Amino acid sequence: MSDNTTILGPDQWKAAGEHHVPPKLSKGGAPAYFSAWDLHAYYGESYIVQGVSFEIREGEILALLGRNGAGKTSTLRTIARLDEPGLTHGEVWLDHQPLHEMKAYEAARAGIGLVPEDRRIIQGLTVEENLQLAQISEPKGWSIERIYELFPRLGERRKQEGTTMSGGEQQMLAISRALARDLKLLLLDEPYEGLAPVIVQEIEKTLAQIKDLGITTVIVEQNAIAALNLADRAIILDMGQVVFDGSAQEVLDNADLRQEYLAI
């Protein structure tokens, strides 16, 4: 193989003609609580996350928006260090910890709490057993009693099998499982997905409580307006790249931007 052979594949993102100039981050002062810097990630040969950079301050809620297939879920999965998509370039820092050097279980231990779209409530286990399982290894977060104080509904249903609860209750349980661990960054993928409007209102209340608690959160939502109403900041992804980074209010105020990238 000669020196100038181009091997197509994950390591060759530069060779594919991409010349990313990552935005300047952390201009002076302390490093951000969370930062993703020039992330590139692949599902096999499919290049999906294409140079994503953003920061989050402690206690901030960030709405991560974009059309279907824009790369929102993939970005969350990359941050949580799941095997797919595989991170080939870039850095992820959470509270001074290098997540890019970690595997998913280490990132979870470092404080990442990913609540996937399907919620992954464990079948055959009660509400309480689902929470106990989340606390099986150190470091632990909230006590189960404290979780029941935040979500009395879960306390009432502690003996009920988790998967038999309503969608909204299951979403509460999924969020609670993240709280039961030592959580530093909550990643919510479409928390309103598949829920009736009345349940959406319930989850909105739940998320307002999360906000009041000062839990640093990324929320991905098709219901962009609901997410923007909750969020402090927003980024918009398009084809695996960040096309907007600013305040949530700016997106609410800018109809052209919403029309172009969110089709709302």
Ligand X SMILES: Nc1ncnc2c1ncn2[C@@H]1O[C@H](COP(=O)(O)OP(=O)(O)OP(=O)(O)O)[C@@H](O)[C@H]1O
| Distance in Å, CB of 73 to ligand X, minimum | 3
Is residue 71 part of the contact set for ligand X (CB under 6 A)? Answer: yes
Where do contacts with Mg ion occur on this chain (CB under 5 A)? 72-73
Instruction: Give one DSSP letter per residue of 162-209, joined into a string.
Output: GGGS-HHHHHHHHHHHHHTB--SEEEEE-TTTT--HHHHHHHHHHHHH
Per the CB < 8 A criterion, the answer to whether 22 and 42 are in contact is no
Q: Residues touching ligand X: how many (CB under 6 A)? A: 12
Nearest to 79 by CA among 42, 114, 120, 118: 114
First to last CA, the chain: 51
Beta strands across the sheet bearing 241-247: 112-115, 185-189, 217-220, 61-65, 233-238, 241-247
Contact between residue 228 and residue 64 where contact means Cβ atoms under 8 Å apart: no
Inter-residue contact 35 to 151 (CB < 8 Å) = no
Of 45, 68, 138, 152, which lies in the binding site for ligand X, with binding defined by CB under 6 A? 68
21 to 60: interface string for ligand X, x by CB under 6 A: ----------------------x--x-x------------
Based on the number of CB atoms within 10 Å of its own CB, is 232 exposed (0-12), middle (13-18) or buried (19 or more)?
middle
Regarding 176 and contact with ligand X (CB under 6 A), the answer is no
Least distance from C-beta 72 to Mg ion, angstroms? 5
Report helix, strand or coil for 77.
helix
- Closest approach of Cβ 249 to Mg ion, in Å? 24
- According to the binding rule CB under 6 A, does residue 10 interact with ligand X? no
Output the smallest distance, CB 73 to Mg ion, in A: 3
Nearer to ligand X, 84 or 253 (CB): 84
- Per CB under 6 A, the list member of 23, 59, 69, 194 interacting with ligand X is 69
Least spacing, CB of residue 82 vs Mg ion, in Å: 13
Contact 121, 174 (CB under 8 A): yes
43 binds, among Mg ion, ligand X, none (CB under 5 to 8 A by kind): ligand X
Find the shortest distance in angstroms from Cβ 170 to Mg ion.
18
Q: Rule CB under 6 A: is residue 78 a binding residue for ligand X?
A: no
Binder to ligand X among 84, 106, 149, 156 (CB under 6 A)?
Answer: 84
Integer Cα distance of 159 and 125 in angstroms = 9
Which does residue 168 bind out of Mg ion, ligand X, none, counting CB within 5 to 8 angstroms by kind?
none
Site residues for ligand X per CB under 6 A: 43, 46, 48, 66, 68-74, 84
